[in-house]
Amino acid sequence: MPTFSRQRIFHRLNEAQNIIFIPDKRIDGDSIGAVLALADYFKRLKKNVCIFVSESLPEKYQFLPGASVCISDFSLIEKEMFDLAVSCDCSDAVYVTDIIHRFPRPPFLINIDHHKTNSYYGDMNLVEEEASAACEVVYRLFRTNQIIPSREAATCLLCGIAFDTTIFSNDGTNARALEAASELVLYGARTQDVIRMIFRNRSIAALRIWGLALERLRTHEGLSFVSTCLTRKDMEENGVTDDEVDGLSDFLNVVVNVQTLFVLRETKDGGIKVSMRTTDRNVANLARMFGGGGHIKAAGFTIPHMQLISHSLTGIWCVVERDRTC
């Protein structure tokens, strides 16, 4: 299914009066930044807007303007008659469609994303794979339609672009991303608050966990990749949340001199979340095979523990080797 033009998407947004914005189930700086920026603009037009999140917003994103109005209790909105739903940075079609079909009248759905693995599940889709972040897609949606974001919206959009590019240090960083970030700073985005959220705001306990992951880095002989892992016991004994471990794979990708990196983390339900970073292979195809998603050089998936044992990292690596990009 083709992506729609920014003009047509914006026209459909403007027509709506009651809009629900839905970030990815697992919230990060890009997904929450995109929905907050859109909600900021349409609230100023006196639209009725709502942001639904799957769980309470992580504390580190509370600095973002508008974050306090996010709703995680569906019962508070289950009787609402939204005429439009907008998903941002969410390639999980099942998650989004399950939400909108819980309403008495499922709203029209616009899907905004930048992931190669997006299945174009919306009634209208704005999927720009060349964009560094969903927030860059939203920024260009505004720009194409001659909209200057408020200082608050600019901060939210900068958060997403900086988050997905690891503060302009990974392969997703390009001239378009830098141009967008530069303009957002000119619009008043709070740069230092964004940088502090991504890198500086770490607890001592979280740093200990990151140190444990560094200690467990393993080079797989004869194979050009390294891996590390964290168990649920590691997290619980140190009093660290999943949110505090986010960003570990991006950090290791910057500082470890290796082509491909796997970070394995045990989830609350006993599954394994696998985060992959690479410089010369296509890990998006592998992620898709296991029901995950992402980009060519940064992707992930979650699978049951026993399934990981049956496939093993070495077996998974054969798939990665097949999909070399250079």
Q: Is 295:172 a contact under the CB 8 Å cutoff?
A: yes
Just give the CATH number of 202-319: 3.10.310.30
59 DSSP assignment: G
Domain 1-200 architecture: Alpha-Beta Complex (3.90)
This prediction's pTM: 0.84
3-state helix, strand, coil in the chain (%, to 5): 45, 20, 35
The rounded distance, in Å, linking the Cα atoms of 35 and 184 is 16
- 133 φψ region: left (φ > 0), alpha (ψ -120 to 50), beta (else): beta
Whether the per-residue pLDDT at 113 is higher than 90: the answer is yes
Share of the chain above pLDDT 90, in %: 61
What residue ranges do the domains of the chain occupy? 1-200, 202-319
pLDDT of residue 320: 54
Whether the per-residue pLDDT at 224 is higher than 60: the answer is yes
More confident call, 311 vs 127: 127
Whether the per-residue pLDDT at 76 is higher than 90: the answer is yes
Q: Is 187:147 a contact under the CB 8 Å cutoff?
A: no
149 DSSP assignment: P
What residues does 113 pair with on adjacent strands? 127
Of 324, 318, 285, 291, which is closest to residue 116 (Cα–Cα)?
285
pLDDT digits (tens, 9 = 90+) for 259-313: 889 999 988 888 889 999 988 888 888 888 888 888 888 889 888 765 555 455 5
